[in-house]
């Protein structure tokens, strides 16, 4: 991974308590675990190595707490003030509606058959009171099309939104996007129409 002017570095927040418990977060939040804090530090160190001088880098973050906490750690590793973080609602996680805060077993108990229905139409399925992947894709494309920075950009976001962001950049089909994943310790560099992956 090398820093090139105009590159986008897509970062997922560090592991959270609810990630470890298998709970859906969506627009709700839980704190980073100790492992999540170390993942964020490792991402920051990898970005420092890739970028060299981080001055002039644009750092945009989902406004959700777990992403903001990750962005703050990344800033410290890069030697940037936390005031450099630009809150970006378009990078917020896909809204999981009434499923937020629940485990798979709790969803099945409260909404029998709903997970099977979602599996059949995963791209277009709208969480009750929330969004669909198609909605998140529109946000991802809006963020990409509005981006006019000449400098490198770090985008701190979430796994479900990252699928649509990477997919929109690469011109993937909906099925290809749904097959993507973004582990907590991975950085994706978007530049020149190509996506490269690096482990933190």
Catalytic positions, please?
Answer: 13, 93
Pairing state of beta strands 186-191 and 153-157?
Answer: unpaired
Query: What is residue 84's DSSP assignment?
Result: G
CB 97 within 8 A of CB 131: yes
3-class DSSP assignment, residue 199 = strand
CB 11 within 8 A of CB 156: yes
Number of residues that this document lists for the chain:
200
3-class DSSP assignment, residue 105 = helix
CB 162 within 8 A of CB 8: no
CA dihedral of 106, 20, 173, 10, whole degrees rounded to 10: 140
Residue reference for tokens 């627009």 = 27
């Amino acid at each position: 991974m090398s820093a090139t002017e105009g590159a986008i570095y897509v970062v997922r927040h560090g592991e959270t308590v609810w990630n470890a418990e298998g709970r859906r977060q969506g627009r709700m939040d839980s704190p980073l675990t100790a492992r999540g804090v170390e993942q964020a530090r490792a991402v920051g160190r990898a970005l420092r190595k890739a970028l060299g001088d981080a001055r002039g880098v644009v750092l945009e973050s989902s406004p959700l707490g777990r992403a903001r906490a990750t962005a703050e750690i990344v800033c410290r590793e890069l030697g940037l003030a936390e005031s450099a973080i630009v809150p970006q609602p378009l990078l917020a996680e896909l809204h999981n509606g009434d499923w937020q805060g629940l485990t798979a077993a709790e969803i099945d108990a409260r909404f029998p058959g709903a997970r099977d229905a979602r599996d059949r139409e995963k791209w277009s399925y709208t969480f009750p009171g929330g969004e669909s992947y198609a909605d998140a894709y529109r946000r991802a494309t809006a963020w990409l099309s509005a981006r006019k920075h000449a400098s490198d950009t770090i985008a701190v976001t979430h796994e479900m939104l990252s699928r649509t962001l990477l997919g929109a950049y690469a011109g993937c089909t909906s099925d290809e996007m749904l097959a993507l994943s973004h582990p907590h310790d991975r950085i994706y560099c978007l530049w020149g129409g190509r996506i490269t992956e690096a482990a933190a």
